[in-house]
Amino acid sequence: MSTIRHNWTKEEILEIYNKPLMDLLYEAASIHREYHDPNTVQVSTLLSIKTGGCPEDCGYCPQAARYHTDIEGNDLMSVSQVKAQALRAKASGSSRVCMGAAWRNVKDGEEFDNVLEMVRTINKLDMEVCCTLGMITENQAQRLAEAGLYAYNHNLDTSEEYYKEVISTRGFEDRLQTIDNVRKTNVTVCSGGIIGMGEHAEDRAGMLVALSTLDPQPESVPINALVAVEGTPMEEQTPVEIWDMIRMVATTRIVMPQTQVRLSAGRTEMSREGQAMCFFAGANSIFAGDKLLTTPNPDVNEDMEMFKMLGLNPQKPFVKKSQPETIEAADSQYKALGEKPKWTRPGHVIEKNELAKQKAKETVVRK
């Protein structure tokens, strides 16, 4: 078995990333077969339980309130609405439901209590439950764990160096602190990033250094291709080449052998042949459904046709880790503390983010 290393350097990862493609694919596929069933892919459904109105300035995100996009916002969904969506996802072959809320960070109160009830409800359906809710404290992570949360997603997005070119309203260290808070519970960690935001290969390697040197490494790493949305600062970015996605998936597989590598946003721009090469390179998880929070995604029936063509099978729930127990709210050991943590606000100016913000203001005035 390949050794799990936590001391990868940027230079080593760049050397892997830049290998001749056939050598890279062979090495990645060989490692993939050591740790995973190469013909099994986890299917997850991503559900936006609260859309739009986010106070952050992430340059890639159409949910940021400061940019003018065509995203239709909505308040937090009800528990019954989420249950109905989860049942639909389960019937279509998903083993995991990932719930996303456009929040900077979790705040104790009625909305978070409702999210905890959503987690309990989905876990009782014998599905894995993942949440991505922004920054969380250790106590909030413990409350999610008690409810039966299987995984918490908190992407690093890119390298620490390039992060400053993408986001100015929070610091890279906040991402690491949230992951550390989750690690103090029995909840697994899902953390990856986006390529195609104008970064260099060195930044892609830097992100993988940050993820692979965590101990333990994340159980799940999403690799997203930027979906450039009109109105965001990155609306003019050229779509990333499929070869970049294949190289990124393969490199991630090599440096994090046990991790489930998620082929995430941007699949609508990928051919079946391109996706097949990503699976061969080590991707063993996808998001199904016609939307990833707010951006387009292949129809689940198309994915099932692709699976049949490639001889792939959906992964059953709780294969990598046993199903967590659900503790009811009345029996919870951890209660709301009304915490007000001081997450960082770096405050530097990103010119293209400011230009998109000004453009949004002018659009509103004209209307």
Q: Is 54 annotated as a binding residue?
A: yes
Q: Is 190 annotated as a binding residue?
A: yes
Helix (H) or strand (E) holding 292: strand 291-292
CB 93 within 8 A of CB 43: yes
CA-based torsion, 82, 83, 84, 88: positive or negative? positive
Q: How far apart are CA 220 and CA 132, in angstroms?
A: 13
User: Catalytic site residue 278?
Assistant: no
The amino acid at residue 201 is: A
Confidence of residue 173 (pLDDT cuts 50, 70, 90): very high
Q: 């509103």: which residue's tokens?
A: 364
User: Catalytic site residue 131?
Assistant: no
User: Catalytic site residue 98?
Assistant: yes
Q: What are the structure tokens assigned to 33, written together?
A: 């077969």
> What residue ranges in 51-182 does DSSP mark as E strands?
96-101, 128-132, 151-153
Q: How far is CA 66 from CA 104, 334, 345, in A?
A: 14, 35, 16
Question: What integer is the mean pLDDT of 246-269?
Answer: 93
Is the predicted pLDDT of residue 365 greater than 90, yes or no?
Answer: no
The region, left, alpha or beta by phi > 0 then psi within -120 to 50, assigned to residue 169 is alpha
Q: How far apart are CA 69 and CA 99, in angstroms?
A: 22
Is the predicted pLDDT of residue 215 greater than 90, yes or no?
Answer: yes
User: Catalytic site residue 190?
Assistant: yes
Q: How far apart are CA 179 and CA 252, in angstroms?
A: 19
Q: Is 61 annotated as a binding residue?
A: yes
84-87's contacts with Cβ under 8 Å and 24+ in sequence apart are 85/45, 85/47, 86/45, 86/47, 86/121, 86/122, 86/125, 86/127, 87/125
∠ CA(316), CA(242), CA(69), 5° rounding?
Answer: 85
- Catalytic residue from among 143, 183, 262, 267: 262
User: What is the average pLDDT score of the chain?
Assistant: 91
Instruction: Give 47-101 pLDDT, tens digit per residue.
Output: 989 987 788 888 898 888 777 777 777 889 999 999 999 999 999 889 999 999 9
CA-based torsion, 103, 342, 346, 252: positive or negative? negative
pLDDT of residue 298: 61
pLDDT of residue 366: 55
What is the DSSP code string of 314-359?
EPPTTSSSPPPPP--GGG-S-----------------HHHHHHHHH
Is the predicted pLDDT of residue 291 greater than 60, yes or no?
Answer: no
Q: Is 131 annotated as a binding residue?
A: no
User: Catalytic site residue 58?
Assistant: yes
- Catalytic residue from among 130, 143, 204, 247: 130
Q: Count CB atoms within 10 A of the CB of residue 342.
A: 5
The separation between CA 82 and the C-alpha centre of its own chain, rounded to angstroms, equals 19
First to last CA, the chain: 61
Q: How far apart are CA 256 and CA 250, in angstroms?
A: 10
Instruction: Give 307-337 pLDDT, tens digit per residue.
Output: 999 999 999 999 999 999 999 999 999 999 9
The amino acid at residue 102 is: A
pLDDT of residue 364: 55
CATH H-level superfamily of 40-239+261-277+291-310+340-366: Aldolase class I (3.20.20.70)
- Catalytic residue from among 190, 204, 247, 267: 190
Q: Is 58 annotated as a binding residue?
A: yes
